[in-house]
Amino acid sequence: MTHPFTGKRKPQLWLWLSILLGLGSAVQAEPLTAEAMWRLKRLGDPAISPDGRLAVLPVTSFDIDKNKGDADLWLVPTKPGKPRQLTSGEANDSSPVWSPDGALIAFVSQRGDDKQPQLYVIPFDGGEARRVTNIPTGVMAPKWFPDSRRIAFLTQVWPDLNTWPEMEQRMKDREQSKMTARVWDKAPISYWDHYLDGRQTHVYSIAFTGGEVQPITRASGLGLDVAEPNATSYDISPDGSEIAFAADTDRSGVDPNFDVFVMPIEGGTPKNITSDNAANDTAPLYSPDGRSLALRRQIVKDFYADRARLMIYDRRAGQLRNLTENWDRSADGLVWSPDSQSLLGSIDDGGVRRVYRFEVGGELPKAITSTHSFAALAVAGSGPVIVGLRQSFSEPPTLVSIIGRNGSATKLSDFNDAALAKLSQGKVESVTYQGANGENIQMWVAYPPNFTPDRKWPLYLILHGGPHNAMTDGYQWRWNAQVFANWGYVTAWHNFHGSSGFGQAFADSITKEWAELPYQDTIKASEWFAAQPWIDTQRMAAGGGSFGGYLATLLLGRPHPFKTLVAHAAVYDLYSQYATDDGAVRKRHGEFWQDIERTNRNSPHMNAANFKTPTLIIHGQQDLRVPVNHGIELFNTLQNRGVPSKFVYYPDENHWVLKPQNSLFWYETHRQWLEQYVKPGAGDAVAPPAATRPAE
């Protein structure tokens, strides 16, 4: 392929332009450091007014000295205009939703003496927010009833208790008890960063003026998702008479199967409308005309990356129809158009999250957008008006309006424009190289802001997590490519075999064999860079978190070209990974005792005798997705072998590092470690002319 920095057409002219542009940007801008990144504002999911004229969204600002964030609600016109702050104070305001009459906005906040997040309402045209609920178990995911008089929400309650005072007393007793033991007699016992306490998630409702809280799903005996309950867990029909929700029908705790149920709002027997499918059916969503119910269906058991089909349930006929059986992507982030004739979705597609349109008539889904990534779609009004969050490696989430005909986007918010104008960011591009089995692998490359192709640059190859989570063109707060590029590294993310958004066969290609294809793709990526005249092959590093950390520890025991590695929350020992939060869940690829040879072949710890690469290890005590023992075992093994290594331990972080000052320490420790082995600016040499570079 012809590279933009070393193309054969007029290479000397491009070289001098690159140098001049690099010098100009260096003079005018400050480096995008980790601290500068933390000073950027972070936008949450927008909600759109019924007439389509206004969007409301949470905007979070972080106080680094106080080590905390503060989210306030802002109103933004959907035609270019001036945003207005709706709420203020030190509380985190989230999950805004408009009343159908457009007069009020409900949201979740924890203010004053609130011990748990509660439901609040505020007039859209200003005034004081008023608390609606005061329940000990807190509130999540509010939704208005169509009459604008009541609000539904989720909360987690103990099934053996009937009253709120009983719930409050149990919480107090557990908090104050000198005896701290917890007992389980079935899995799961934990999720992500906390241990489960026997509660179930249920839907309740309350009048917007307050008063008595009414249970909706409690009597059904079917609890909603206890791990990740959110606004997609349930929906209310447009006439307010029915609720649809997704609940796990498995009673064993080790073989989850979510089905979609419908039942009258006022009570009754839930009806399972997806009992024909043994895998997960989730995310019910009523059409505005009330005739249909959309939902997402997976058909492969125990495989979270199975392609999600868009199903349409005809409420009158009681029949399900598969709208995307012949489409090799997953339906996600769905919203109905106001005319009920189509849906829009934010789709993981070839390294980008594109907006797709799904016609109810059954035509193949059509991509509306092409560049950048879009998420958190909201639709309302005539036209209709479509808003969402646009982002890229160089643009933090930004509120935009989208033209449905051609996908063109108009920026509506400028929360970060002034800050970004002062910060240097490098060029980012997508390249393709041949990976394992000769298949094409897509890779993102971010260049230092002052990049010129006449120098040799160090490489930092980042290994994404998942493994079935592609690295799409989006802003990364935890592993920010622009921060690494501003340190002086050519920074890359490759979407190795197993990544989502490249078809089901590609995602499924590493089932049962996690190691081999991603390892080969990583080595092939390093070879692609080694063939570039502007990469110093003696200064190449790699690192990643979660599955990316697994891949880093896998490299430790195999041949590789990297001078140092970084392993964050790394899966190191596949045997002890049984201690994870979903360790007891039955596994599609089988159990370790069923194929010891395969387990050993794929477990990085089995190659410890080959470890010799200096490695930075990072882990959080509250990480229950990849328990902290992995980081400790890896560090102790490296120390035992005399391999230079450092262990960064966070007692108060989970799988991710989320607190501002902890994150800044993470970045600084990261920077110092890389500089020990692949320091930018060290050993630079003039690259060969572009015309003599190796053929691709």
Is 543 within a domain?
yes
pLDDT by residue (tens digit) across 602-654? Answer: 999 999 999 999 999 999 999 999 999 999 999 999 999 999 999 999 999 99
Asked if pLDDT for residue 539 goes beyond 90, the answer is yes
Long-range (24+ apart) CB contacts under 8 A made by 435-440 are: 435/494, 435/496, 435/497, 435/517, 435/520, 435/521, 435/524, 435/525, 436/497, 436/516, 436/517, 436/520, 436/521, 436/524, 437/517, 439/497, 439/506
362 band by pLDDT with thresholds 50, 70 and 90: confident
Asked if pLDDT for residue 24 goes beyond 50, the answer is no
Min mean pLDDT across 125-129, 454-458, 460-464, 680-684 is at: 680-684
| CB 186 within 8 Å of CB 141 | no
Judged by DSSP in three states, 344 sits in: strand
Asked if pLDDT for residue 22 goes beyond 90, the answer is no
- Other C-beta atoms closer than 10 Å to the C-beta of 544 total 26
| CB 352 within 8 Å of CB 372 | yes
pLDDT, mean of residues 334-362: 97
Judged by DSSP in three states, 15 sits in: helix
pLDDT, mean of residues 574-588: 94
589 band by pLDDT with thresholds 50, 70 and 90: confident
Asked if pLDDT for residue 377 goes beyond 50, the answer is yes
| CB 233 within 8 Å of CB 224 | yes
Peptide bond into 384 cis (omega under 30): yes
Burial class (CB in 10 A: 0-12, 13-18, 19+), 141: buried
Q: Which residue from 621, 616, 656 is spatially nearest to 634, judged by alpha carbons?
A: 616
pLDDT, mean of residues 60-72: 97
Q: Which residue from 433, 523, 510 is spatially nearest to 468, judged by alpha carbons?
A: 510
Asked if pLDDT for residue 685 goes beyond 80, the answer is no
What does the alpha-carbon distance between residue 616 and residue 229 come to, in Å, rounded to a whole number?
35
659 band by pLDDT with thresholds 50, 70 and 90: very high
Is 552 within a domain?
yes
pTM of the predicted protein model: 0.94
Q: Which residue from 197, 201, 171 is spatially nearest to 183, judged by alpha carbons?
A: 197
Asked if pLDDT for residue 80 goes beyond 90, the answer is no
Written as one letter, the residue type at 277 is N
Q: What angle do CA 535, 536, 538 make, to 5 degrees?
A: 145
In degrees and rounded to multiples of 5, residue 147 shows phi and psi of -85, 0
Q: Give buried/exposed letters for 548-557 (b at 16+ CB in 10 A, else e).
A: bbbbbbbbbb
Asked if pLDDT for residue 18 goes beyond 70, the answer is no
Asked if pLDDT for residue 161 goes beyond 90, the answer is yes
| CB 40 within 8 Å of CB 61 | no
pLDDT, mean of residues 184-211: 97
Is 584 within a domain?
yes
State the maximum Cα–Cα separation within the chain, in Å, rounded to a whole number. Answer: 78
Judged by DSSP in three states, 60 sits in: strand
Angstrom CA distances, 152 to 57, 312, 428, 443, 449, stand at: 19, 24, 43, 43, 49
Asked if pLDDT for residue 126 goes beyond 60, the answer is yes
pLDDT, mean of residues 22-32: 63
Asked if pLDDT for residue 490 goes beyond 80, the answer is yes
Is 381 within a domain?
no
pLDDT by residue (tens digit) across 505-521? Answer: 999 999 999 999 999 99
Asked if pLDDT for residue 177 goes beyond 50, the answer is yes
Is 274 within a domain?
no
Is 581 within a domain?
yes
9 band by pLDDT with thresholds 50, 70 and 90: very low
Asked if pLDDT for residue 26 goes beyond 90, the answer is no
Asked if pLDDT for residue 695 goes beyond 50, the answer is no
Asked if pLDDT for residue 279 goes beyond 60, the answer is yes
Q: Which residue from 434, 444, 600 is spatially nearest to 517, judged by alpha carbons?
A: 434
Is 196 within a domain?
no
Task: CATH number of the domain at 481, please.
Answer: 3.40.50.1820
Q: Give buried/exposed letters for 601-619 (b at 16+ CB in 10 A, else e).
A: ebbbbebbeebebbbbbbb
Distance separating the N- and C-terminal Cα atoms of the chain: 6
Is 252 within a domain?
no
pLDDT, position 684: 55
pLDDT, position 542: 99
Q: Which residue from 44, 99, 89 is spatially nearest to 68, judged by alpha carbons?
A: 89
Pinpoint the alpha helices (H) of 162-258: 164-176
- Other C-beta atoms closer than 10 Å to the C-beta of 277 total 18
Element (H, E) at 205: strand 200-207
Written as one letter, the residue type at 10 is K
pLDDT, position 263: 98
Asked if pLDDT for residue 16 goes beyond 70, the answer is no
What does the alpha-carbon distance between residue 562 and residue 15 come to, in Å, rounded to a whole number?
28
Give me 305's structure tokens: 């990356």
Give me 232's structure tokens: 């997609």
Looking at per-residue pLDDT, the higher value among 9 and 224 belongs to: 224
Structural domain for 486, as ranges: 11-31+425-682
Asked if pLDDT for residue 527 goes beyond 60, the answer is yes
- Number of domains making up the chain: 1
pLDDT by residue (tens digit) across 99-119? Answer: 999 999 999 999 999 999 999
Name 410's Cβ contacts closer than 8 Å, sequence gap at least 6: 80, 400, 401, 403
Element (H, E) at 599: helix 596-602
What does the alpha-carbon distance between residue 34 and residue 39 come to, in Å, rounded to a whole number?
9
Peptide bond into 561 cis (omega under 30): no
Question: Which residue has 């203020």 as its token pair?
Answer: 88
- The mean predicted confidence, pLDDT, of the chain is 93
In degrees and rounded to multiples of 5, residue 633 shows phi and psi of -60, -45
DSSP per position, 405-432: TT--EEE---TTHHHHHTEE---EEEEE
Asked if pLDDT for residue 553 goes beyond 50, the answer is yes
| CB 646 within 8 Å of CB 531 | no
